[in-house]
Amino acid sequence: MKELKKVAHPYIPNTVPEIKEQMLKEIGVKTIEELFSGIPEELHYRETLHIPKALSEYELRRYMEGLLSKNTSTTEYLNFLGAGCWNHFIPAICDEINSRAEFVTGYAGDPYEDHGRFQALFEYQSLMAELVDMDVVNVPTFDWAQAASTSIRMATRITNRTDVLLPKTISPDRLKVIKNYCSPYINVSLIDYKEDTGQIDLEDLENKVSSNTAAVYFENPSYLGFLETQGQQISKLAKKHGAITIVGVDPSSLGIVEPPSHYGAEIVCGDLQPLGMHMNYGGGQSGFIATHDDIKFVQEYPSRLFGIAPTVVEGEYGFGDVYYDRTSFAQREKGKEFVGTQTALWGITAGVYLSLMGPEGMYELGKSIMQKSQYAMQQIGSIPNVVASRFESTSFKEFVVDFSYTGKSVKEINKYLLDNRIFGGKDLSEDFPELQQSALFCVTEIHTKEDIDQLVSVIKQCINSK
């Protein structure tokens, strides 16, 4: 037996030598090594791992803060990046609740141990249901991309068809996730958009939709920021062919913009990140799915769905899993897709956010984003040779700025902005070559007039520079 160490590790109480010995004695084993006798010698790793030796808590803090100090955050530079992850105001209470030890370290307990988790997630489902005006919302999945992917698979099972139609303006990354999730048996095709407006080309849709189409999926606002105004026509067209309409939506728009269920969407999905999640370098994403309370749809969810129920004592709210037998937990490969750890804490946070905001808050949020982004578009568009927005459609929060006539590439402009402590818009020139030198800018309620004016002034300087 190797020599017992003298100092117990703070995270590992039973490294106290006497306790270790006492436990070994009690179970009738001489050395810890004996407990690993099931591992054949040839698989025993006898070398020491090349991992540095342990740091104390203070040393760890110094070291990790040193590494993180190499980052420059959006609190230091002005940020106009969006493209799937957005800079919003986060009420302090969102952080207070999602850093409570009970929620942070909770996991998969039953309703009797984890009543609070069940109620908080049931409430999240209920609040989100009001925002989208539908009766069923899931415990959140990974992100919008996964929510869209699962919505699509739900539609293929409901219709027993294998073709799906997506807009060409979809986020290229989201499309990658969907394609991988759909392969090998679901065919994904893209619908063209109108060059001047970005709107879905209804003619192209009409040509492509058929009796094999399981779903027509589109986004509102689109990845490129504009609002799709033909929702009603698209869903009618889909319905005519027996296909399901799925709409991906930015929930921060829903205080002012009609929810997709009002123009024919049967499945609605999107990202919760705008509702109280820090960007966290992309780690704040969280996907939701909503449908009507129709068994045909409900039975196709892979996710957990928490329901409310009475208990044996009058006056108590109880909770639990609705129709658990759908899931892979219950049925392995015969369940619907798969379920497991996803982003429950962000669901709870979105619930807190919506409770704080109320209908007025969501209305003001939408209105303020509309005002500030329109102001930004107007100001950027007033710079000679800069077109904002590239599309003749109403935008929400994000808009495409076309720099093609400035003689400068987006890359050059963004470099200049960066040197002036500004994160410029997402460069679209590779993903959407037809838009030439265009970038996707994001303006939310957090931007001040001064921030926007600063951006405009630096863009001007850049364009005028040699």
Partner 1 sequence: MKKINREHKVRNFQQAKWDEPIIFELHNAGERGVLLPHVESEIVDCVGDGLSALPASLIRKSAPKLPEISQNRVLRHYLRLSQEMLGGALNVEIGQGTCTIKYSPKINEEIASSPKMTELHPLQDESTVQGILEITHKLDLCLREISGMDYFSFQPGSGTQSLFTMASIVRAFHESNGEGEQRNEIITTIFSHPSQAATAAVKGYKIITLYPDKDGFPDLEKLKEVVSDRTAGFVVANPEDTGIYNTRIKEFTKVVHDAGGICYYDQANANGLLGITRAKEAGFDMCFFNLHKTFSTPHACGGPATGALGVAAKLKEFLPGPIVEKQGDQYTLKSDMKHSIGKVRSFQGVPQMVVRAYAWIRAIGAEGLKDVAEIAVLNNNYLYHHILKIRGASAPYIKGQRLEQVRYSWEQLTRETGVTTDDISRRMADFAHQYWTSHHPYVVPEPFTLEPTESTSKSDLDEYIASLTYIANEAYENPEKVKNAPYNSTIHRVDEQDFFENPEKWAITWRSYLKKSKEIEKIRS
CA pair distance 86, 271, nearest whole angstrom: 10
Q: Contacts with partner 1: how many residues (CB under 8 A)?
A: 209
Question: How many other C-beta atoms lie within 10 A of the C-beta of residue 257?
Answer: 18
Contacts of 285 (CB under 8 A, 6+ apart): 84, 85, 142, 143, 144, 271, 272, 273, 277, 343, 346
Contacts of 145 (CB under 8 A, 6+ apart): 171, 173, 174, 177, 178, 287
CA pair distance 153, 150, nearest whole angstrom: 5
CB 43 → partner 1: shortest distance, Å?
5
Identify which of residues 31 and 210 has a Cβ nearer to partner 1 in the complex. Answer: 31
Residue type, 445: E
Identify which of residues 131 and 387 has a Cβ nearer to partner 1 in the complex. Answer: 131
Burial class (CB in 10 A: 0-12, 13-18, 19+), 419: exposed
Among 187, 239, 322, 454, binds partner 1 (CB under 8 A): 322
Among 1, 4, 162, 176, binds partner 1 (CB under 8 A): 176
Among 319, 399, 403, 416, binds partner 1 (CB under 8 A): 319
Mutual orientation of helices 449-464 and 410-419 as an angle, nearest 10°?
120
Taken in order 134, 137, 143, 145, the sign of the CA dihedral is negative
CB 401 → partner 1: shortest distance, Å?
15
* Residues 389-418 contacting partner 1, CB under 8 A: 394, 414, 418
CA pair distance 383, 413, nearest whole angstrom: 14
- 77: contact with partner 1 by CB under 8 A: yes
* Whether 224 contacts 169, CB under 8 Å: yes
CA pair distance 217, 247, nearest whole angstrom: 6
Among 1, 4, 162, 179, binds partner 1 (CB under 8 A): 179
Among 329, 404, 431, 436, binds partner 1 (CB under 8 A): 329
Identify which of residues 38 and 405 has a Cβ nearer to partner 1 in the complex. Answer: 38
* Spatial CA neighbour of 84 closest among 288, 274, 246: 274
* Residues 213-272 contacting partner 1, CB under 8 A: 227, 229, 231-232, 254-259, 262-263
Stretch that binds partner 1, among 158-166, 180-188, 207-215, 431-439 (CB under 8 A): 180-188
Among 3, 6, 30, 333, binds partner 1 (CB under 8 A): 333
CB 63 → partner 1: shortest distance, Å?
7
- The CA distances from residue 66 to 57, 60, 61, 295, 374, in Å, are 14, 10, 8, 53, 40
* Residues 271-310 contacting partner 1, CB under 8 A: 278-286, 293, 295, 298, 305-310
Among 3, 6, 30, 52, binds partner 1 (CB under 8 A): 52
CB 208 → partner 1: shortest distance, Å?
22
* Residues 120-139 contacting partner 1, CB under 8 A: 120-123, 125-127, 129-131, 133, 135-137, 139
Identify which of residues 5 and 240 has a Cβ nearer to partner 1 in the complex. Answer: 5
Burial class (CB in 10 A: 0-12, 13-18, 19+), 194: middle
Stretch that binds partner 1, among 114-122, 158-166, 211-219, 401-409 (CB under 8 A): 114-122
Which residues, in sequence order, are bridge partners of residue 247?
218, 268
Stretch that binds partner 1, among 6-14, 157-165, 208-216, 454-462 (CB under 8 A): 6-14
Among 195, 356, 392, 407, binds partner 1 (CB under 8 A): 356
- Distance from first CA to last CA of the chain, Å, rounded? 73
Stretch that binds partner 1, among 7-15, 157-165, 238-246, 401-409 (CB under 8 A): 7-15
Identify which of residues 102 and 405 has a Cβ nearer to partner 1 in the complex. Answer: 102
Burial class (CB in 10 A: 0-12, 13-18, 19+), 153: buried
CB 145 → partner 1: shortest distance, Å?
5
* Spatial CA neighbour of 289 closest among 120, 83, 129: 129
Among 6, 30, 160, 312, binds partner 1 (CB under 8 A): 312
* Residues 362-391 contacting partner 1, CB under 8 A: 362-372, 374-375, 378
Identify which of residues 326 and 406 has a Cβ nearer to partner 1 in the complex. Answer: 326
Stretch that binds partner 1, among 201-209, 211-219, 354-362, 454-462 (CB under 8 A): 354-362
CB 275 → partner 1: shortest distance, Å?
11
